[in-house]
Amino acid sequence: MLGSVLLIAFLSYASSCGVPTYPPNVASRVVGGEDVKAHSWPWQVSLQYLKDDTYRHTCGGTLISSQHVLTAAHCISNSRTYRVLLGKNNLEVEEEDGSVAVAVDTIFVHEKWNSLLVNNDIALIKLAEPVELSDTIQVACLPPEDSLLPQDYPCYVTGWGLLWTDGPLSDVLQQALLPIVDHDTCSRFDWWSIMVSEKMVCAGGDGVLSACNGDSGGPLNCEAEDGAWEVRGIVSFGSSLGCNTAKKPTVFTRVSAYIDWINEKILL
């Protein structure tokens, strides 16, 4: 019991999580997004797989401890070899100041991950070694267990995904403002209907800004009342009609629904 209490405290205390050295430009306005201020989302990682002796970006992820990264279950394939890039801004700059590449030790995919229904789309990566936290590499806070955010709460999706539907991947990390869409709205018949469960959270849906292919696994960043940034969602899926389709907001795995699962796996 004491170990669990200490673990929750370790992951959550605001003085060590969710406060970037270089605060993001969030007063300004991924698809339809913008280049971020370098290292303003220092928990964002690039999950990369090895192909033909070259590592390639496949998904985003979120550093939540010095040795653990949250990502989406659908990003993981047992046949692939992965590494994690941390402290990155431009993926085309090989030797970027403040960045580091780390091998993967273990990947925990949720036991009830269902690729057909896209349920429990969450995985936890244990890095081969702890990373040293710095101005460019920091951890995000986890949200309070089972907590929900209200309609239109401002959050930001970040990633190196497609700049537009069927467009190129971005070299530079992007951010886009995606307000929360509550479950009652997102589950309406002309929105996502029964595709969204209560363990998911929707954001966006204005037909202009959204996540896209390559952003999967990355964070939905939402600022708490104390000013620290929490990872409220993990990019899960969007519309087959196009990344920025009206009434089809980006759907995220709701992190607050999986706090117990995360804590359990971190202890392994």
Q: In this predicted model, what pLDDT tens digit does every residue of 51-99 receive, in sequence order?
A: 999 999 999 999 999 999 999 999 999 999 999 999 999 999 988 999 9
Q: What is the mean pLDDT of residues 154-172?
A: 89
Q: Are residues 128 and 161 in the same domain?
A: no
Residue 219, domain member (yes or no): yes
Q: Are residues 12 and 127 in the same domain?
A: yes
What DSSP element (H or E) covers 89?
Answer: none
Whether residues 198 and 247 share a domain: the answer is yes
Specify whether 6 is located in the same domain as 133: yes
229-238 pLDDT, tens per residue? 999 999 999 9
Compute the distance between CA of residue 174 and CA of residue 224 in angstroms, rounded to an integer.
21
The whole-number average pLDDT for the span 150-174 is 91
Q: Are residues 166 and 46 in the same domain?
A: no
- Residue 237 maps to which CATH number? 2.40.10.10
Both 71 and 7 in one domain: the answer is yes
Domains of the chain: total? 2
Whether residue 75 is contained in a domain is answered as yes
pLDDT of residue 2: 34
Backbone φ and ψ of 5, nearest 5°: -60, -45
- If asked whether residues 55 and 125 sit together in one domain, one would say yes
Whether 229 maps to a domain, the answer reads: yes
Q: Is residue 32 domain-resident?
A: no
The answer to the question of residue 203 being in a domain is: yes
Shared domain for 14 and 97, answered yes or no, is: yes
Is residue 29 situated within a structural domain?
A: no
pLDDT category of residue 33 using cuts at 50, 70 and 90? confident
Identify whether residues 73 and 127 lie together within a single domain.
yes
Asked if residue 206 belongs to a domain, the reply is yes
Q: Do 11 and 135 lie in a common domain?
A: yes
Looking at the structure, do residues 6 and 132 belong to the same domain, yes or no? yes
Is pLDDT above 90 for 166? Answer: no
Range of the domain at 186: 155-256
CA gap 214, 46 in Å, rounded: 10
Task: Tell me: do 221 and 89 sit in the same domain.
Answer: no
Output 209 or 137, whichever has higher pLDDT. 137
**DSSP codes of every residue in 98-154:** T-EEEEEEEEEE-TT-BTTTTBS--EEEEESSPPPP-SS--BPBPPPTT--PPTT--
Does any domain span residue 37? no
What are the catalytic residues? 74, 121, 216
